[in-house]
Amino acid sequence: MSKTKGVVAAGHELTARAASEILEDGGNAFDAALAAIFMTFVAEAVFSSPGGGGFLMGRRENSDSVRLFDFFTETPLKRRPMNEIEFFPVYADFGPAKQEFHIGVGSSATPGAVPGIFLWHEALCTLPMRRLVEPAVRAARTGFALTEFQAYLFTVIAPILTASSDVAKIFAPRGKLMKAGETFRNEGLAETLEWLAEDGARLFVAGDVGEAIVEQSLSLDGHLTYDDLKQYHVELREPLYWRHRGATVALNPPPAASGPLIAFGLAYIEALQEAGGKVDALALKRAMEATNEARMMHGESLASRLAGGVLARELREAQRHPQAYRGTTHVSVIDEEGNAAAVSLSNGEGNGYIVGNFGFMLNNMLGEEDLSAGGLDGWREGTRLSSMMAPTVILEPDGAVTALGTGGSNRIRTAILQVAVNLLDHRMSLEDAVEAPRLHVERDGKTSFEPGLPETMQADLLALGEKAHAWPARNLFFGGVHAARRDPKGGMDGAGDPRRQGVAIAV
């Protein structure tokens, strides 16, 4: 590895190139990551939107401290009765299985992406916002060839992308969904991003976009009002720091569920090691089963005994918040100074309506099947949603820094756990750690696993019978971990997960 200005890993080539362009122009990791996020609104619109929310885990150069910017979505301040809102089910087609989502204007939570972006820019960036939106504006206006992967995602959520004429105009302009190789454009979004760079976050609160959000909600029976937009606040949080194999792992803290669950898995692995066990696929399976048990027990039982009970409190705090775990993309960037940015964004799948003529959908986070114990209409008002998104920074004793994160719904926590174990326990290279075969254990005990595990371990897993699901190839089901790393001597490398067409670029 040679010294570079920086390295980026992301879920689309255009996203990675937006970040690398900014690094070349002298921007730092936070500038580059922000440019990449603007590009996800354009090139990864199935996952990301200005109408959603997310998290930035940021580490400043030569610092042992990390800060988390929480700009995830929040339940509206006032909940209208279900019979008064527009809210209906659609089915995503994953081939072997279908999943029910709920969309409509009544499915939208208060978005946090735009206020989060501007607070992040003010605190950490060096280049003007108008420069950072340029790559995304250019791509949205001139267009780009749709990839096979993005075209496939269009088919998965086809009912959402054709739910209204304004959405279909962008994603199915000739009466049918766009296919791979066709030129995708979104001129409305290009203009919105240019305007946003000039007017700032107020555009989405008291400006024309904010007015359009509220007008859509009032006219099409949603929950959101001006008060929701005005009273939203970005939260700066201390990460959940966890020690593993001498490294400090900075994780997303409550109200997110991901950090406590990943830490719990790492703690369980350490307990197995102390008892003389090996860290292999079966050990990871046991760790995932134990984590599921702790999660279902709301932080009691094993969690109250492991690691001095600290994680029991963390898990209880995460359980207090309604859950929204779907539709995520991730960007990781590290620059030559050692600044590290791990950013995860989600729009759910979108609510099925374009806001005004501004080229984007609001989220459908209130359509989460497991939103609350009280059902889809039982969520607490004015509450930050709990997320499984897991932007993570790992600081090793020798000075190595790794930024990573993934999409993958409830598989996010197990994907990050396995890559962290690959890096810290097995000392794999970054690329090998990301590409190594994965497994995932559901709450009901069903164990899914990719090919490539040792034959004896595969046999043990297949012995589970109906509880075993052997996937024929690596699959996006197991997430898409995009990671960037800087070694103690300043060398850098990146790994984009092939499961989600990931791209890594060093400049």
Q: Which helix (H) or strand (E) holds 505?
A: strand 503-506
- Residue 309 pLDDT class (50, 70, 90 cuts): low
- Average predicted confidence (pLDDT) for the chain: 92
Sign for the pseudo-dihedral over CA of 441, 442, 443, 446: negative
Please state the domain extents for the chain. 6-236+323-387, 241-322+390-506
Checking if the pLDDT of 370 tops 80, the result is no
Residue 313 — pLDDT band, cuts 50, 70, 90? confident
Q: Please determine, for residue 501, whether its predicted confidence score (pLDDT) is greater than 80.
A: yes
Torsion sign (Cα): 501, 36, 348, 155: negative
What distances in angstroms separate CA 495 from CA 30, 156, 438, 452, 484, one per listed residue? 18, 26, 16, 19, 6
Strand pairing report for 482-486 and 492-495: antiparallel
d(CA 429, CA 6): 18
Strand partners, 387: 324
Provide the β-strand partners of residue 121.
none
328 is catalytic: yes
Give phi and psi for 354, each to the nearest 5.
Answer: -80, 135
pLDDT in tens, 316-328: 788 788 887 777 9
> What pLDDT score does 293 carry?
83
Q: Is 367 or 332 the better-scoring residue by pLDDT? A: 332
R_g of the chain, CA atoms, integer Å: 21
How many other CB atoms are found less than 10 A from the CB of residue 137?
21
Residue 301 above 70 pLDDT? no
Question: Strands 323-324 and 386-387: what pairing?
Answer: parallel
Which CATH class name applies to 241-322+390-506? Answer: alpha beta
Q: From its phi and psi, is residue 134 left (phi > 0), alpha (psi between -120 and 50) or beta?
A: alpha
Share of the chain above pLDDT 90, in %: 82
pLDDT tens for 412-469 read 999 999 999 999 999 999 999 999 999 999 989 999 999 999 999 999 999 999 999 9
Phi, psi of 324 (to 5 degrees): -145, 105
Cis bond leading into 173, ω under 30°?
no
Give the pLDDT of residue 306.
Answer: 59
Residue 457 amino acid letter: M
**136 vs 61, which has greater pLDDT?**
136
Indicate whether 86 pLDDT > 70: yes
Looking at 328, 329, 402, 447, which residue is catalytic? 328
Please state, in angstroms and rounded to a whole number, the distance separating the CA atoms of residues 333 and 342: 7
Tokens 């692995």 — which residue? 269
The reported pLDDT for the residue numbered 276 is 87
Question: What DSSP string describes 355-384?
Answer: -TTSS-BBP-GGG-TTS-TT-TT-PPTT-B
> Mean pLDDT across the stretch 103-130?
97
* Cα angle for residues 500, 352, 142 (degrees, 5° grid): 60
pLDDT at 343: 98
For residues 157 and 94, what is the distance between their CA atoms, to the nearest angstrom? 9
Under the banding of pLDDT at 50, 70 and 90, the label for residue 384 is very high
How sure is the predictor about 64, in pLDDT bands with cuts at 50, 70 and 90?
A: confident
The residues, ordered by sequence, that sit 6+ positions from 12 with a Cβ below 8 Å of its Cβ are 39, 40, 43, 44, 147, 150, 501, 503
Cβ–Cβ < 8 Å for 69, 119 = yes
Between 245 and 376, name the one with better pLDDT: 245
Structure tokens at 239: 């990460």
Residue 94: what pLDDT?
A: 66
Cα–Cα distance for residue pair 109/367, rounded to 1 Å:
9
- When pLDDT is cut at 50, 70 and 90, the band that residue 332 belongs to is very high
Partners of 505 in beta bridges: 8
Q: What is the dihedral of CA 18, 22, 28, 31, to 10 degrees?
A: -60
How much is the pLDDT for 218?
95
Alpha helices for 234-348 (secondary structure H): 258-274, 281-296, 302-305, 310-319
Tokens of 477: 């089901």
pLDDT the model gives residue 96:
60
Pick from 71, 173, 127, 86: nearest CA to 367: 86
Contact between 74 and 384 (Cβ < 8 Å): yes
Over residues 173-218, the pLDDT tens digits come to 999 999 999 999 999 999 999 999 999 999 999 999 999 999 999 9
